[in-house]
Structure 1
Amino acid sequence: MQFQTFTYPNNTAVVGRFAPSPSGRMHLGNVFSMLMAWLGAKSAGGNIILRIEDIDPRAASKQHARTLMEDLMWLGLTWDEGPYFQSDRIKIYDQAIAALTAAGYTYPCFCTRAELHTGSAPHACDGTYIYPGTCRTLSLIQRKQKAVDKTPSIRLRVPSNTDKSAVYSFTDLLQGKYRQNLATECGDFIIKRGDGVYAYQLAVVLDDALMGVNQIVRGNDLLSSVPRQLYLQELLGAPHPQYAHIPLLIAPDGHRLSKRNKDLDLGALKARGVTPQQIIGFLAHLAGLVPRGTAVTPNELLPNFSWHALPDCCQDIVVTSEVFDTNS
C-alpha cells in the first residue's frame, strides 16, 4: 500500500547529501563520507545537500553544528542546498507515523533493551537482535495495562516470512548485490522510540525523498539498513535512490573512528598545522584517486573521479594520528 500523504521531487540530475549528527567535532571518517558524496554528485553535474540530523537531543549541539559547517567550508566541501535541521521537521515525521498507524502497519512495543538482548532472543550473524514480535499481538487491554508503567516505542510491521515481499534486494555502487529477508533477518523495527525521538530509518527515508536525494553515500556499517528503508519507501510511495556504501575508517584497535578519537578530529589536525589540501589529498588517496602524499582540493579531484577507483571497497581502512607526519 502507498500513501498519498507526501509529494516527492522527481530529479533527473544527481542529488547527493551529507547528513551528520552534531554530537562533536568531525573526524576523518566523517570527512571521507562527505568527500565521496560531494564527488559523486558533483562529478555527475549534480548538487549536494547538507542536512543536520539533530532529532536526538542527547546527540545535538547548535555549536557543534556551526563548527561542522565552518570545517566543511575550510575543507572546500561546500553545499548547494541547506543546511536543513531535522529538529525543524518533526511534524513531517508525525504525519508519516499517523498514516502508517491508520493503515495498520504499526503497533506499540513495551520491550526493554535488556529484554531484547537476552540470550532467548534471536540474533543475526552480526550479533544484533531480530525482534521476535513479542508485542505484536497484545490486546488493547494488555497495551493499556503496560502503558501505565512504560511509554511504548512504535514498531513497523514487516511482511511475514511466507510473503515474497519480505525479501528486499538492491545493487550497491560499491558493495554489489545485497539481499535481506526482513522477516527472518530483521523483524518488526522501531520508527519512534519510547522517549519520543524518531528513529533514523523513518527520518532519513522521508528527508531524502522530500529533498529529492537520489544518491546516498555513507559508511558500509549502514548497508544492512537499506532493506528497511526500501520497505518504508514503498509504503510511503517514495522513489528508491541509488546507494554507495564506502569503507569505514578505523583505528588501529579495530574500532571505527568516532568523535571520541580526538587525535583524528579536525580540531586536533588544524592545531597541528595540517592543511585542508593535505586532508583532502589523504582521503582521496584512500579512494584510489591520487598518489600518497598529494595535497589537493576537492575541485581538482572532479575530472578523474570514478566509483570504480575505490580499492577493496568491502575492507575497512586503518588510519592513525601519524598519517600527516612528514616522515610517515
Structure 2
Amino acid sequence: MNFTQRTRGLVKTLAVVLALGFPVMLAVSTAADARVGGGGSSGSRGSRSFSAPPSTATAPNTARPFDRTMTQPGRPNVGAPATGGFFNRPGMGMLGGLAAGFLGAGLLGMLFGGGMFSGLGGLSSIIGLILQIGLIILVVRLAMNWWQRRNATASAYAGPSATGLAPGAGPLASFRSGSGFGLGSGSAPLEIGPSDYEAFERLLGEIQDAWSNEDVNRLHALATPEMVSYFTQDLQANNARGVVNKVSDVKLLQGDLAEAWREGETDYASVAMRFSLVDKTIDRASGRVVEGSDRPVEATEVWTFVRPRGASWELSAIQQT
C-alpha cells in the first residue's frame, strides 16, 4: 500500500510539473523569436486577410491567422485573433476543446485523488490513472490527425503551386515560380516574374536590416504604414526593456509563391520563404546578449507584398506557419 501511495504521489508530481512547464516552454519559444514581426502574424492581405494562403512546398502548414490587423472582417468573428496555446491552433475546433477538457479533468483528478477509478483504491487506482492518461493521448492524437487531414484537404482544393524553379541562377533559384488564384477568386491572374522574385528577396534582407538599425524612416519606404506601425510598437517595447534586437546574415534558403492576385489597381503576392539569420537581443547599456546567439537559426514565414499600379512592391503582412 505504501508503495502504491508513493507511486501515485510521483505521478501526481510529474503531472503538475508537466502542466506548469508546458506553458513556460511555449513562452520561451515565443521569446526567442525577436526578429522583425516578433514571431507573430501581422498585417493585411486585402480582401483575403481572413483566408489562409494556400500551402506550398516551402510552407506546407497552414499560415496562422493575423494577431494584429487593421482590416475589418466581413462577418462577425471571422477575424478573431488566435488565442495561442497547444489546443487553440487554427482548425482544432471541437476536438481541441475536448482534448483540453479531458486533460484538465485528468490533472485535477490526479491532484485531488479523483478520476475514473478513484473509488476502487490500490492497484485499480493506478490502472485507472493509466487509462486516463491513455485516453488523453488518444483524444489529442485524434484531434491532431483531424487537423492535419483538414489542412491537407484545403491545400489540395486550392491546387498546388508550380514546381519548376524560377529562371536564373543564384538566389533566384531558391524560388519556385507559379501563380495562384486562391479559393473563390474572381480576380484577374497576376503573373510573377524573375524581377518580382528579386524584389521579394531584396525586401527580405532590407527590412530585416532596417529593423536591426531601428531605422523607421527606411521601414516606411519598404513596408505599408500598417506594418510600420506594428514595427514601431515593437521597437518601442524593446526600448522600454532597454534592449535592441540585432539581425544579421539573412539568407534565403527556399521560397515559392502561394498566390498572386489583383484587386482594382493594386497587386498582391503572398510568398512562402524559408530563411536563415543570426537573431540576437542585446542589452543597450552593457552590450550583453540577453536572447539568441551568434549561431544562425531558420524561420519559415509567409510574407505578403502589395504593389499599387506603377509603384514598387512593399511588405503588407507577415504570417507564421
Assess same fold via TM > 0.5: no
Give the shorter-chain TM-score range.
under 0.3
The structure number with the bigger radius of gyration is 2
Q: Which has the higher strand share?
A: 2
TM-score (norm 1): 0.21
TM-score (norm 2): 0.21
Q: Which has the higher helix share?
A: 2
